[in-house]
Amino acid sequence: MSLGKYVTGSPVIMGYEYVPEVDAWLRLHIEPAIWPDARLRCHLEGGALASPTTSAMSNAMIEMLASNKLTMRHAYIGVHAFISKGDFMSMDGIPMANLSVRWREGEPDNAKNEEDCVVLNGVGEAIDVSCNTPRPYFCRKENAKMIIDKCGTTAEGYKLESRTGSCYKFHRVSRTWHRAAMACQAEGGHLVVINSNEEAQVLKDIFGRNKNEASVGVWDWNEHGEWNRSVYRKWIGDAFLIITGETLSDAGYEGWAKNEPNNAGGKEFCGVINRDARLNDFSCDKLIPFICEITPS
Ligand SMILES: [Ca+2]
Ligand SMILES: [Ca+2]
Ligand SMILES: [Ca+2]
């Protein structure tokens, strides 16, 4: 069997490699995740968990598995049986029988009655497995969504700010700190870090452009129905460290809000900024909007 036209060494954009026969891009995430997190990560990257829809896609997956030094030489694909137990299908509903993959002998066996997810192994066989074990996974992105903007990302919504040279995006979908950090990372950025008073002003202006009335579908997290804060950075141990590992003073901005940080309830281990760009320590588990930053290289 030919390995198709997919070749290692083709251009890589944000971790994705082009598979010409399907006019789509494929990424093997080596850092393991449980299936639901893998699904979310692909979604946040603007794609979906990939399935071996054609032999070209299947071959590209096998080749990627072979060219990466994985401890487990298999990865989650988009095939699942969540809708109907035992009825495996791709993310867009293509039944397993119509995909370009065969079950490994003895599979699917639905061991312990908990195998609703599927991995592809190094020889191109499918195995039903538990969804709750972290494993590598494949994401697929359509070619039309692979346009890089001047911020260096394929994600929509980033605006270059001349005052700081960084790009920013206000995310209206509220998330916990960890999910927010994941969303920024998936777009090639990080949760915003304020490096100067000027950047604080830039963020104030961004809040000004994102008023409450524009917040259709946003969960109103405070008693006033205002979403006036954005996830910012995280306490680690006793020091307030930024996601880049710097202290606040290293980063260049220490503008705390009045009476903050107060570690209210002993549970405030993440950082947020208020609409006035003042800092506050805050619960990591509350769902709030957030701002991502990308510094174009
Ligand atoms: Ca199995
Ligand atoms: Ca910054
Ligand atoms: Ca606080």
Ligand 1 centroid distance, CA of 7 (Å): 31
Ligand nearest to the CA of 129: 1
Task: Tell me the C-alpha distance between 229 and 23, whole Å.
Answer: 40
**Is 133 in a helix, a strand, or coil?**
coil
| Token pair in block for residue 148 | 């890089």
Cis geometry, peptide bond prior to residue 296 (ω within 30 degrees of 0): no
Beta strands 16-19 and 117-121, pairing class? unpaired
Task: Tell me the C-alpha distance between 18 and 161, whole Å.
Answer: 31
Q: What pLDDT score does 149 carry?
A: 92
Over residues 157-166, the pLDDT tens digits come to 999 999 999 9
In the predicted structure, residue 215 carries a pLDDT above the cut 50: no
Ligand nearest to the CA of 253: 2
Domain range list for the chain: 12-145, 159-294
Calculate mean pLDDT across residues 43-72: 92
Q: What CATH number does the domain located at 12-145 have?
A: 3.10.100.10
Task: Tell me the C-alpha distance between 42 and 186, whole Å.
Answer: 8
Residues 6+ apart with CB under 8 A from 95: 87, 88, 89
Ligand 1 centroid distance, CA of 17 (Å): 29
The confidence band for 138, taking pLDDT boundaries of 50, 70 and 90, is very high
Ligand 2 centroid distance, CA of 64 (Å): 35
Ligand 2 centroid distance, CA of 15 (Å): 24
DSSP string, 11-62: -EETTEEEEGGGTEEEEEEEEEE-HHHHHHHHHHTTSEE----SHHHHHHHH
How far is the first Cα of the chain from the last one, in angstroms, to the nearest whole number? 41
Ligand 1 centroid distance, CA of 139 (Å): 22
Ligand 1 centroid distance, CA of 55 (Å): 23
Mean pLDDT for the chain overall: 85
Ligand nearest to the CA of 274: 3
Ligand nearest to the CA of 200: 2
Architecture of 159-294 per CATH?
A: Roll (3.10)
Ligand 2 centroid distance, CA of 202 (Å): 10
Task: Tell me the C-alpha distance between 290 and 234, whole Å.
Answer: 13
Over residues 216-258, the pLDDT tens digits come to 323 333 333 333 445 555 554 445 667 766 778 888 888 888 9
Over residues 80-117, the pLDDT tens digits come to 999 989 999 999 999 999 999 999 999 999 999 999 99
Q: What pLDDT score does 208 carry?
A: 84
Ligand 3 centroid distance, CA of 262 (Å): 5
Q: What pLDDT score does 263 carry?
A: 82
CB 34 within 8 A of CB 41: no
Domains 12-145 and 159-294 share a fold: yes
Ligand 1 centroid distance, CA of 131 (Å): 11
Nearest to 169 by CA among 154, 157, 152: 157
Ligand 1 centroid distance, CA of 32 (Å): 19
More confident residue, 51 or 229: 51
Residue 200 parent element (H or E): helix 197-209
